[in-house]
Structure 1
Amino acid sequence: MSYLNPLRLHFAGQFQANVSTVNNDPGHFDNAAFLPSYQLPQKGTDLNGWFNPTGDAAWRLLNCRITSASTQAGPVGANDPVLDYLIADSGSRVCAKLVDLDPEQQLVSQIWGLQVRIVDAQGNALLCGDFEPAAFMDIWNRATASGTHGDAVGGAMYQSVLVNLQWGDVDGSPFLRALRASGERLSIKFNVDGINLDFRSPQFMCGRIVGTIGPSAPDEPKHFVPGRQFMTNGKPGNNFFIPVGGINFFAAQVDRASSAILLDLGNALSTGTPGGALNDLGDLVLSAASAHGQVALGTVAAHGAHGYVSDPSWYARTAGVVALPLTAAQLAALEHAPLTLSGGAEITISEWASGAFVRADNYVFRSSPHERIEVPFYATQWGRPLAGAALRIVADDSQLQPSNSIDPNDVPPVATPLAALQFVDGHTVTPFSTTFAGTLTTDANGRALLTLGTSDPGTPRYFNQGEDFGIDGQVYGIRASLADTAAYSGPVNQWNFVSILLWSRFVASTPITWDSMHPIFQQYANLYPVMARFLDLADYDQVVAHAGLLKLAFGLDPADPNAMPVTRDLSPAKRDAILAFLDAPLPGTAAPARKLRAVTLTADELAASAAARAEETRGGKSAAIARRVISR
């Protein structure tokens, strides 16, 4: 099933991702070295707080319209009112939040607290569902025009499920009736690109979004399609990812009920300019390998009435999803044969020769010491579960991003101590090391559950100025692969690994006073200048004056969009200590906090900042890419 299904709708519009960039620099987590200028926008060669220090982490859907819908019988007609409806976020609570895992792992940004609704022109909700938090995947250099750089060139995709579905009156829409009957949760996938980083533009921090909603089976992965997986190698360099064959990773699903294969090219086809028209890669021919060469299965036309290049509405109308009809002979030809999609000169991408694939469903985790983490992996071959496959599990820090632009001689290390993560196999617990590899075996459904033990990582990322504070805990990477490389091998997706934030053990003072809480509040006052509009978190008197509201915000579930802090990097132990302190806020003896400048810019500062940002916007995902361990 999944969104890649004959029963699906497509939508297109804009998104807003108003992230704060102060916390993108690990050096800004050093309370002792933090300067007021770090809360100001970049200016010339001074990074300051990078390009958007006053962002509030808001993630919004803007003017998203349903552009098409289809069922097993084909596209719905104009008489179905679903084609006049909108896709919107919540109408009754604050917007969702876009959250990085860690300043040294910024390449799995998650959306938390998102509600997705289908509404009519009068604002009546026909459907409301909760989006399970999900991180982006398959980020790449999507825009190819010369002169484009930084985050604006990037494209990525999100896939998750909508749960807790609430349906309105959908009797007037045959499509929505069919979608409602499909099950208790829905699958949603969307592509984002073309983010606008021009501070002077009313579209600042907005970009293009196109997406698909369809059914979701209860036993299938939530965050990827367990179908046919098209894989590619990347070109070398400090970039998001540049596929050697010009087409990015994508999935396909064979639907035997309708004798078709559905390809999702939504995050696979490049554009010229950021958020612009698709590049002409030629007619894209899908074929299957055979003993006599390639067997053609169908073509995605570049030109003609509905060509992906010639039809300017193609991308918005289809979200890049293409259904190619198949004959019985073609269905038989692809059953156990690798598929290839090829276009013009050197435009190509294929499955592994073995048709095999393995991936974790959820691939971003947060944990306290001594908790266990369970990571479900799925192995497939030819789009079906691969039973009895041995999976090799290793630590892999190659895509993590250690740095400190404030003091390059004091870079917080990543993935150490490795022994704080353990591979659990029944009653055997083995600490990870650089030489350790664990093994799992998939069950009849192609599924294997990795259990990780955890212990206190200590404070390996505290800074060297002598203060007792820094970046909490440690960030790790874990990668799975098929152990039998003689039978299963091919291009590796560098983003296909598991990221883990393991918090440090924290014990508050007895009694809990401002002395032990002040460093925590001070750090968040430093890193989130937007909070200064409401209160100074580093000021004892202001914290006490707002204790009731702070108790509410710190006590919320992290999935709630009102939860503090928006980063979701506050450990449960520290959150509990804050709540206990707010119940009885004892002053202690902490020195008064340094007063940081309120973030209001003069006209001259605004002009200088805008001019600097016009030259080059720095400090986002492209900067994180450049400082990966594998690059260093």
Structure 2
Amino acid sequence: MSYLNPLRLHFSGRFQANVSTVNNDPGHFDNATFDPSYQQMQTAAAANGWFNPEGDASWRLLGCAITAAWTPDGAVAASDPVLACQVADANSRVSAKLADLDSEQQMVSEIWGLQVRIADAAGNTLLLGDYTPAAFMDIWNRATGGNSGGDNAAGAMYQSVLTNLQWGDIAGSPFLLALRGAAGSGKLSIKFNVDGINLNFGDPEFMCGRLVGTIGPAAAGEPDHLLLGRQFMAVSTQPPSGFFAPQGGINFFAAQVDTSAGCIFLDLGNALSTPTPGGPMSDLGRLTLGVATADGKTPGLGSIEPHGPAGYTDPAWYGRTAGVVVINLTAEQLKAVEEQALVLSGDLAPADAFIMESPLGAFVRADRYVYRLSPGDTVRVPVYATRWGRPFAGADLTFVADAGGLQPSNSINAQDVPNVAVPLSAMPFERSACTDRNGVAWLALAPTDPGTPRYFNGGQDYGIDGQVYGIRVRFTDQRFAYNENQWNFISILLWSDFAPPAPVTWDALQPIFQQYANLYPVMKRFLDLGNFQDVVANAALLKLAFGLDPSNPNAMPVTRDLSPAKRNAILSWLDNPLSGNGAAPARRLRANTAPSPEADAMKARGGKAYAASRRLCLR
């Protein structure tokens, strides 16, 4: 069970991701050299604060209408009122927040504090659920036209679950009654795709883009962010670019064989390219699903037509289906796909589209793959191995430190780039594990204090707290090796230990407050976080915001990058805001160094495309 299920609904609309871009540059974290120009909009001559320095991190669902609903018996009747409903976010609290893990790991942006509702035309809530924070996956260069390469050309997907379900009056909707009946685990599965973000400042759609998604049941015991199904693995173009660009023109995607329904579900929602950002799907010809055989032939199981009202290039197709395709299989075909690699191919020469499963059907990934940890924390990361879409018991796994997907840089001072993934000794972990009968293994983490390896000026000045690490999991047996997904690794932000003097004074906390004042200029509409008097005057409100759970959309800071140790020190100080000796933090001149040519060429983009281009593996 999951969103890829005979019982599901599809929705289509827009999203807003109003992120601040000042913190996109690691060089802006240097308090001692921060310049007010870094809070201004970029120009043709200067990157400044990139393309949206006044962003408030809000993440919203906009006008997402339910476009279709299905049960095991087929499409729901037009009379079912669910078809007149919308999928919306909260109507009784502030918007959710979008936050990167770190300025040097911006490729796992997470949505925090999101509530998802199904609401009728009058605004009545028929279903309310809390979205478990999740990061995007499988970002790629989706729009292949002439303006491809920047953030507006990217596509990505989010998969998570809705919990704490609250149901309204759904008596009139057979579909919603069936969905409630299938939610015995207390959860629903949700997956949505985002693309076509508008970066044209001044346009009413600035920082908004297209969103399509699916909601279905979630079974007890299954992962929250991963489909336990068949995994189609793309191959990267060579040489690698910033965003992933598949050789076969089709991005990574998952499928689910449903023997009871006699079909296979393909989720192509984040797999098919578009000629323009947010446009209809590119024509790859007839897409045929087949089985790979030793002789190179691929017996067809079914096809997906490109044209006509039901064709995937029809402008209405994507919103109506969320990219989910159902191919019915005979009993013989169901037997044939049990333990043979599946292939999806297009027939439009000369650019024939192609993607397939790993030859032996093996796949491994952590369910949750983004962690924020403090020294002394212990966490067990669940890792799921599958073969032919089923749990792979007894599989030997190897864990390796891999910083290749991290993005160190400093366009302010190219001679003072904060190093990532050091010291590795602060992130000890077992190098091997074996999956249990459910195909699950555990990566145990017990980090220690990394110190302050990303402080500036040789460690003399305040900088980026803690360190960011990457850990990748692979099958030990090389027979199960496959085309590796470059985004499939575990990202960890490990905070530095922090022990303020007793009693806590403003002098000890001012660099922390000042950095947030620098990086999030939108706060200056309310107060100057770097100013002692302003902070004291708003102590009660700040204590409330800093004391909230990070899953609360009102929690400070919106970036979720404040360590518990620093948070506790701030809360203690807000109870008794002592000033200390009032010593002003040291200032120093910025180094007169030019940014690298690579960074200079990407300044006009400045977002995910820039971050992806500076990954260590591309150097």
Give the TM-score taking structure 1 as reference length: 0.93
2:4–2:265: 8 Å Cα contact kept in structure 1?
yes
Q: Quote the residue 2:215 is aligned against.
A: 213
Residue 310 of structure 2 aligns with which residue? 306
Name which of 351, 361, 364 aligns with 2:357. 351
Match status 1:253 vs 2:240: no
Residue 392 of structure 2 corresponds to which residue in structure 1? 386
Tell me by how many angstroms 1:592 deviates.
5.4
* Structure 1 counterpart of 2:610: 623
Q: Does the CA-based 8 Å contact 1:290-1:333 persist in structure 2?
A: no
Distance in 1 between the 2:459 and 2:69 partners?
60
Deviation per residue, 1:357-382 (Å, 9 max, x gap): 00000000000001112110000001
CA distance in 2, matches of 1:581, 1:468: 22
CA shift digits 1:466-522 (9 cap, x unpaired): 64411000000000011101x212210000000000000000111111100101000
Cα contact 1:143–1:154 (8 A) shared by 2: yes
Contact 2:100 2:559 in 1 (8 A): yes
1:299 maps to a residue whose letter is S
How far residue 453 of structure 1 moved from its aligned partner, in angstroms, is 1.4
Map residues 435-474 of structure 1 onto 2, 5 A cutoff.
Answer: 438-464=431-457, 467-474=460-467
CA contact (8 A) 2:373 2:493 kept: yes
Q: Where does 1:505-516 land on structure 2 (aligned, <5 Å)?
A: 505-516=497-508
Shift of 1:290: 3.8
Displacement of 1:465 after TM fit? 6.5
Q: 1:538 to 1:616 in 2, by over 3 A?
A: closer
Q: Is the 8 A contact 2:30 2:461 kept in 1?
A: no
Contact 2:143-2:277 within 8 A present in 1 as well: yes
Taking only aligned residues, the RMSD between alpha carbons, in angstroms, comes to 1.4
| Correspondence list, 1:87-126, <5 A | 87-126=87-126
One-letter code of the match for 1:170?
I
Q: Where does 1:194-205 land on structure 2 (aligned, <5 Å)?
A: 194-205=196-207
The structural deviation recorded for 1:295 is 1.9
- Aligned position for 2:521: 529
CA offsets per residue over residues 275-320 of structure 1, 9 Å max, x none?
01110001100001245632211111111331111x3210000000
2:530 counterpart of 1:538: yes
TM-fit CA distance, 1:147: 3.0
Residue 337 of structure 1, CA deviation: 0.5
SS of equivalent residue, structure 1 residue 130: strand
Distance 1:62 1:593, change over 3 A: farther
Pairwise CA distance, 1:391: 0.5
Q: What's 2:590 paired with? A: none
Say which SS state the counterpart of residue 299 (structure 2) adopts: strand
Partner of 2:592: none
How many Å separate the matches in 1 of 2:379 and 2:452? 20
SS at match of 1:451: strand
Report the equivalent of 2:234.
Answer: 232
Q: Which amino acid aligns with 1:585?
A: P
Structure-to-structure mapping, 1:591-602, within 5 angstroms: 591=583
Asked if residue 573 in structure 1 is aligned to residue 565 in structure 2, the reply is yes
Contact preservation (8 Å) 2:498, 2:566: yes
**Does the residue aligned with 2:428 lie in a helix, a strand or coil?**
strand
Deviation at 1:452, TM superposition (A): 1.1
Give the SS at the match of 1:517: helix
Instruction: Mark the runs of 5 or more structure 2 residues left unpaired by the alignment.
Output: 588-601
Name the structure 2 match of 1:268.
271
- Aligned partners of 1:197 and 1:617 also within 8 Å: no
Which amino acid letter does the alignment assign opposite residue 245 of structure 1? G
Which amino acid letter does the alignment assign opposite residue 306 of structure 2?
A: A
Q: Could you tell me which of 418, 422, 429 is aligned with 1:423?
A: 429
Q: 1:112-162 deviations in whole A, cap 9, x for unaligned?
A: 000000000000000000000000000000000013331011000000000
Contact 1:152–1:194 (Cα < 8 Å) also in 2? yes
Q: Distance in 2 between matches of 1:535 and 1:593?
A: 19
Residue 294 of structure 1 aligns to a residue in which SS? Answer: coil
- Is the counterpart of residue 503 in structure 1 residue 509 in structure 2? no
Paired AA for residue 203 in structure 2: S
Please list the CA deviations of residues 391-427 of structure 1 after superposition, one character each: whole Å capped at 9, or x if unmatched: 0100000010000000000000000000101125xxx
Distance in 1 separating the partners of 2:583 and 2:123:
52
**Structure 1 residue 591: Cα displacement:** 3.9
Q: Tell me the equivalent position of 1:188.
A: 190
Give the Å deviation of 1:618. Answer: 2.0
- Pairwise CA distance, 1:590: 2.9
| Counterpart for residue 127 of structure 1 | 127
Contact 2:242 2:610 (C-alpha < 8 Å) held by counterparts:
no
What letter is aligned with 2:86?
Answer: L
Match of 1:609 in 2: none
Amino acid at match of 2:543: K
Work out whether 1:476 is the aligned partner of 2:469.
yes
Q: Find the partner of 2:332 among 320, 329, 333.
A: 329
Q: Secondary structure at the match of 1:357?
A: strand
Q: Which amino acid aligns with 1:367?
A: L
Q: What residue number does 1:364 align with?
A: 370
Distance in structure 2 (CA, Å) of the matches to 1:466 and 1:274: 43
Unaligned stretches of 5+ residues in structure 1? 425-437, 596-614
- Which residue pairs with 1:9 in the alignment? 9
The 1:443–1:540 alpha-carbon spacing in structure 2 relative to 1, beyond 3 Å, is same
Q: Matched residues in 1 for 2:567 and 2:450: separation?
A: 19
The corresponding residue for 1:396 is 402
Give the direction of change, closer, same or farther, for the CA distance of 1:304–1:576 in structure 2 (3 Å limit).
same
Contact 1:538 1:593 in 2 (8 A): no
**Aligned residues with identical type, % of pairs:** 64
* Distance in 1 (alpha carbons) for counterparts of 2:227 and 2:439: 14
The 2-side partners of 1:148 and 1:478 are apart by 30
Output the CA distance in 2 between the equivalents of 1:465 and 1:386: 48
1:603 aligned residue:
none
* CA distance in 1 between partners of 2:285 and 2:110 (Å): 35
Q: CA 1:118/1:68 → structure 2, altered by over 3 Å: closer, same or farther?
A: same
8 Å contact from structure 1 (residues 32, 465) kept in 2: no
1:594 Cα offset (Å): 11
Question: Aligned equivalents of 1:465 and 1:174: distance in 2?
Answer: 65
Tell me how far apart the structure 2 counterparts of residues 579 and 165 of structure 1 sit (CA, whole Å).
32
Hey, what's the Cα distance between the residues in 2 that align with 1:23 and 1:490? 36
Aligned mates of 1:589, 1:627 — CA distance in 2: 42
Contact residue 63 and residue 86 of structure 2 kept, 8 A = yes
Deviations 1:586-607 (A, max 9, x none): 0112345899xxxxxxxxxxxx
Q: How many residues align?
A: 598
Letter in 1 for 2:253: F
Q: Distance in 1 between matches of 2:383 and 2:505?
A: 44
**1:536–1:132 distance in 2 versus 1, CA, 3 Å:** same
Tell me by how many angstroms 1:200 deviates. 1.9
CA deviation after TM superposition for structure 1 residue 584, in Å: 0.1
